Amino acid sequence: MKLPQLRYGAVAAGAGIITMSILAQNQTTPPWAYALNPPATQGAPAPAPAAPDTSLKHVPGSSVGLTLPQTRDLFNPPDWYPDDHPAMPEAVMHGRRPDVRACGYCHLPNGQGRPENASLAGLPAGYIVQQMADYKNGLRKTSESKMGPPTTMLAIGKAANDAEVKAAAEYFASIKPKPWIKVMETKMVPKTHVSGWMFVETEGPEKGMEPIGSRVIEMPVDLERTELRDSKSGFIAYAPIGSIKKGEALVTTGGAGKTIKCSICHGADLKGIGNVPSISGRSPSYIARQLYDIQQGNRNGPWTQLMKEAVAKLTVDDMVSITAYLASRTP
């Protein structure tokens, strides 16, 4: 692994700035795909504010007003735009205590998802049901158990019952995914650090630019709106110059034996066929984690076997290119 991938950013904590190295966490997974909070805050879903802020918050185009604590409630997630999605079933809107956190909290009420989880909008219901069974049966794990959200998803998969899974699957399958990620090729990226399991731009004295290296850096277009879990404020993914074209070659031709043409199973438009999921216009961080998890055998459900040959020879650099290309397409 190249050194630039191992070092990044500075983390604002309290009064001072702590410069931290990923080496301190012994991370072997690609750090740009598996964003790890600084060790002190691991296990927390989001960084807690220093003092409770009880003022009403608003987002553009919504008449809803919510306090910060209300936007952080895993059993009653913020729904800023009640009219932009069908009526949510109980599992999506509230979940069930203690373990079934509301699907709509992490995946957002419209299923658009975030880099630290996954988009669910428009996935085939049968595919969602199969993934939940894989989580329940211990066949879908994560290569990075220090990353909080995937580890929480495993617990939710174990706890959710068949009726909850069916209702949530039908709900998310019925929603059409919207464009959500803009890919921009670049040599230099803003310096970032991880906060809330997501890359955010570093402000203050450490603010600046750094070479992108071989990484895809996905971050909120508008951090404030994303932190309020605004389901209409999307993401920008910075990718190395030339990566989209390299990814396109691998995806559409198989790269002379490196992998297999994805369209054979994922459809000519890569938006899925039958119960095979879409891979088009989805989070590059999420897609990279899946390619890596499948390659490492941590995702190993009955249908995952069909993916084994496609991922066997991929390097992490190939994953950078493939995910940049896939994310640049419409969902």
Residues that bind ligand HEC (CB under 6 A): 91, 100-103, 105-107, 116-118, 120, 123, 128, 130-132, 142, 149-150, 152-153, 156, 160, 164, 168, 251, 259-260, 262, 264-266, 276-277, 279, 286-287, 289-291, 299, 301, 303-304, 306-307, 310, 322
- For ligand HEC, the closer CB: 192 or 259: 259
Smallest gap, in angstroms, from Cβ of residue 318 to ligand HEC? Answer: 9
- For ligand HEC, the closer CB: 25 or 206: 25
Q: Which two tokens stand for residue 329?
A: 């397409």
Cα 50 to Cα 13, 47, 203, 230, distances in angstroms: 10, 9, 18, 22
- For ligand HEC, the closer CB: 59 or 108: 108
Burial class (CB in 10 A: 0-12, 13-18, 19+), 14: exposed
- For ligand HEC, the closer CB: 30 or 190: 30
Cα 98 to Cα 66, 88, 190, distances in angstroms: 23, 20, 39
Beta carbons of 149 and 116 less than 8 angstroms apart: yes
Beta carbons of 209 and 191 less than 8 angstroms apart: yes
Smallest gap, in angstroms, from Cβ of residue 293 to ligand HEC? Answer: 6
Smallest gap, in angstroms, from Cβ of residue 290 to ligand HEC? Answer: 4
Smallest gap, in angstroms, from Cβ of residue 200 to ligand HEC? Answer: 17
- For ligand HEC, the closer CB: 10 or 311: 311
- For ligand HEC, the closer CB: 10 or 156: 156
- For ligand HEC, the closer CB: 150 or 196: 150
Q: Which two tokens stand for residue 250?
A: 């691998």
Let me know the angle formed at the C-alpha of 177 by 320 and 111, rounded to the nearest 5 degrees: 90
Smallest gap, in angstroms, from Cβ of residue 205 to ligand HEC? Answer: 32
Smallest gap, in angstroms, from Cβ of residue 79 to ligand HEC? Answer: 14
Q: Which two tokens stand for residue 321?
A: 């290119």
Beta carbons of 215 and 294 less than 8 angstroms apart: no
Cα pseudo-dihedral 80, 85, 90, 92, rounded to 10: -80
Q: Closest Cα partner for 117 from 235, 250, 243, 270? A: 235
Smallest gap, in angstroms, from Cβ of residue 195 to ligand HEC? Answer: 16
